[in-house]
Amino acid sequence: MSSPEIAGHSLRDLLAEPGHWSTVYTDGPQGEPPGAVESRMRSLKDSMLDAGIPEDDAEAAIAALPDDTGTPAPSARWLLISDGRIVADTGWATARRGQERLSFGAFPDVLPLLRHRSDETRILVVETARDGADLSLQRLGRATPEQEQHVSGEDHPITKVSPGGWSQARFQRSVEEVWQRNQDEIAAEVDRIVRAHRPSHVFVTGDAHVRGLLLESISPEALDLVVEVDVITSAAGADDTALVEAIDETIAESHDSQVSILRDQAAERDGVNGAAGLSAVVEALQQAQVDTLLLDERMSDSSTLLALPAEPWIAVSSADSFDAGAGVPLPAIQALVRAAVLTDAELVFLAEELPEGEPFDDSTAAQPLAVLRWPASPVASDSDQGSGAGGGDHPSQAEGEDPDDPPTRPDPQTAGHPSQAEGA
């Protein structure tokens, strides 16, 4: 995973060096009257001060938050502040996920930022018609599309009529040919956008016959991404509810499929391709062994890990810090997220969608689970009695291997993973 950029700064650089960071994750504009906004800002400032945020940083946040960013309600905001200066200010056109998060410490709390960014799936919406189409390349959760364009095709003859006489069949064929040429032009533009921007899905709306002509013309690469939505959204006064529902359902199914695949990968070969539980995942992160980390965002902040100022970046206690320096206690999920970014691991978040107003129940949060870059050594996970990763006398052996003569395993020290601490 390449390090994300935030306000011109590498997120990896921000997380590597200890500093003095205030992080504010709160509601954005809510469509409130001015008096309600002022009251909410006063309450928020008190909460920031109670959380240990310096007054200069709190004042900077209060000055920035009421600004109209053009994001519709409900919305969420994430601010990073240092020495009274706003370093980053990001908003999303979606409700805040979970509780408000306010903190001051050596490292930024980037969990809300990465959690929202993980939802910013890129999609292409194609609203096609006989005489052209509207194309919109979007990042879900963002207030405005990344790119919008209208493809104008031929508009004559565009409507089938029954003129009668010997010319009727020829006229009808002519109309069909215009429709097909228009869809060919639209298909070329869809193919170009798919090649250039790699959306996860292409949602196609419009008259069923015209949709069929378009799908006959687009490339196999684009066709694999198509989700047809049987609704005409381009007409004046059209309702896009069916389109929105189709997008939400498709993205949710894709996420569930991704999580299922990751769990299957972690469980392969009796679990040696994965690490399950806090201790096992920390050990894998210390060796830069984690390819993808699956985290439940409902993890409680009550358990802590050490965020180290140098490799291996994370430790359960000072006893396994490998002389990397004094660690900073952080909530476990923050420390895991930081170590994942610093070791180029992908992050995938789990979250149960709860009814509006119902709080998260962190007591049922799933344990961290990692898919590894190379097989694990035989170590026990935090819950090796049934965790699906680790456990048994020889968990690193595949079925049929001789425990007394195991096959050679890749050596992390020679396999291109220099982020292991000396002696680890």
Any idea which residue has 């935090």 for tokens?
382
pLDDT digits (tens, 9 = 90+) for 125-143: 999 999 899 999 999 988 8
Mean per-residue pLDDT, 75-87 = 96
The side-by-side arrangement of strands in the sheet containing 101-105 is 85-92, 76-82, 21-27, 101-105
pTM recorded for the entire structure: 0.79
Please say whether the beta carbons of 203 and 243 come within 8 A: yes
In the chain, residues under CATH classification 3.30.960 are: 5-118
Q: CA-based angle 140:1:220, to the nearest 5?
A: 60
Which DSSP string do the residues of 262-304 spell out, in sequence order?
HHHHHHTGGGTTEEESHHHHHHHHHTT-EEEEEEETT--SSSE
Fold of 268-424: 60s Ribosomal Protein L30; Chain: A; (3.30.1330)
Could you give the CA distance from residue 285 to residue 282 in angstroms, rounded to a whole number?
5
Q: Are strands 226-228 and 201-205 parallel, antiparallel or unpaired?
A: parallel
Q: What is the CA radius of gyration of the chain?
A: 27
Residue 417 binned pLDDT confidence (cut-offs 50, 70, 90):
very low
Task: Tell me if residue 217 falls in helix, strand or coil.
Answer: helix
The CATH code belonging to domain 5-118 is 3.30.960
Task: Please enumerate in sequence order all residues whose Cβ is within 8 A of that of 331, keeping only pairs 6 or more positions apart, or say none.
Answer: 299, 300, 301, 302, 303, 304
Q: Is 379 helix (H, G, I), strand (E, B) or coil?
A: coil
Closest CA relative to residue 22, chosen from 70, 65, 55, 71: 55
For the chain, what is the mean pLDDT? 84
**Confidence at 374, pLDDT banded by 50, 70, 90:** very high
pLDDT of 386 > 60? The answer is no
Beta partners for 103?
23
Homologous superfamily of the 122-251 domain (CATH): eRF1 domain 2 (3.30.420.60)
CATH 3.30.420.60 domain extents, the chain? 122-251
List, for residues 104-115, the tens digit of each pLDDT value. Answer: 999 999 999 999
